[in-house]
Structure 1
């Protein structure tokens, strides 16, 4: 059984922070400000969106080009560090000089625990993972596998006769999903922003029959 996942992305890495300031907004989400640079006009659009976000994300600001199109933004990522790094790389790709870009803010999901972790998932991926866990309790005579890449894409196989088949299907769907999400992206931008090791889909977990 195949599940194709639609992935929402506005893709986009990390400059030294000037002075981090962590704030909790009314919903419990955490917004971390890394710079006190003054924003102008349309630059505030990504920042306003950040205050509504409930995922790992980051915004980098171009300090000389004061337009929203010059920002670098990363939304819906599996982890905060990659979101920060890609936001900076996106900003630098558009900038005349790399040093014009600063990491402005980061956002993490509601209730996120900042204690060190080896792996985290985007909120959408967590919801899908929890669904697969529930599905596994009902379909305990087959293999199920969950795959992710290093950015934001995820996919799963809900029922397969063997571990190999489940993992193969999850990886194929993950790769196909990411490929579809890139069709409207500028190839030069994608090459500048994405690290090769982040693009490869890997198995996050495989459930065995019980």
Structure 2
């Protein structure tokens, strides 16, 4: 029970820029909601695609459609991002890259966000899959309390964590794991990313959180610190992450 409380509290801190009283976080991945940006009448095929996205997409995500063709010519979708802003930008870019008709006008249709978030703080959190990865690191820290732990993430959907004897090694290895995932994702999506013109510089991995051994030796005190201090997403804006084997995707639904 105490471990469950620890994980829920830490995830809650990532899901809010300011801690609220009795935060509730769904670690099973059901805590999401949809925001409708545009009212577009689709044909039957496009309605099915939107419904599938509504059912399966995890935060943060977005759909952009070409209004003149009502999504028949250009559709862009993203999901599993850390940043709502980046997810929306990439959805729009992908829509525009696929639109060939004159007078194209890609607009945001839907966004996927955490159910527990306020609109003003969407850019200060981790994706659903990254939160799962962060929770996994916390579990591992329980059996290795005398070592340093570090968690790193990229702006899109890669992340990595490491538990090592020194702070520098933990941070270095966490970054390298994140960078390795970023390179693999770029290789898989080389053609798509080139068409959408995704700037590699925006996908830089950063260490978001580091835990020192002194905070973990006394587990009871550690839980209090982790719950209300150590799990804050400091200086983490418009960032993104995801977990393998189910990485975030950018697709045009062709």
| TM band (smaller chain) | 0.7 to 0.9
Superposition map of 1:169-184 within 5 A: 169-184=173-188
Q: Offset at 1:51?
A: 1.9
1:98-134 Cα distance to aligned partner (Å, 9 max, x none):
8521111111133334343662000111111122123
Q: 1:28 to 1:126 in 2, by over 3 A?
A: closer
TM-score, with structure 1 as normaliser:
0.76
- Stretches of structure 1 lacking an aligned partner (at least 5 in a row): 1-26
The answer for the alignment partner of 2:45 in structure 1 is 42
Q: Is 1:140 matched up with 2:168?
A: no
Partners of 1:80 and 1:207 lie apart in 2 by 27
Which is helix-richer, 1 or 2? 2
The answer for the alignment partner of 2:11 in structure 1 is none
Partners of 1:184 and 1:203 lie apart in 2 by 24
Partners of 2:209 and 2:103 lie apart in 1 by 38
Work out whether residues 83 and 123 of structure 2, in 8 Å CA contact, stay in contact via their aligned partners in 1.
no
Partners of 1:117 and 1:57 lie apart in 2 by 11
Q: Is 1:202 matched up with 2:206?
A: yes
Q: Offset at 1:79?
A: 1.8
What count of residue pairs does the alignment treat as equivalent?
183
- Stretches of structure 2 lacking an aligned partner (at least 5 in a row): 1-29, 215-254
Partners of 2:64 and 2:169 lie apart in 1 by 41
The match for 1:71 among 64, 72, 75 is 75
The match for 2:60 among 48, 56, 59 is 56
Which is strand-richer, 1 or 2? 1
The match for 2:193 among 184, 189, 193 is 189
Q: Is 1:95 matched up with 2:120?
A: no
User: Which has the larger displacement, 104-113 or 171-180?
Assistant: 104-113
Work out whether residues 85 and 123 of structure 2, in 8 Å CA contact, stay in contact via their aligned partners in 1.
no
Q: Is 1:152 matched up with 2:168?
A: no
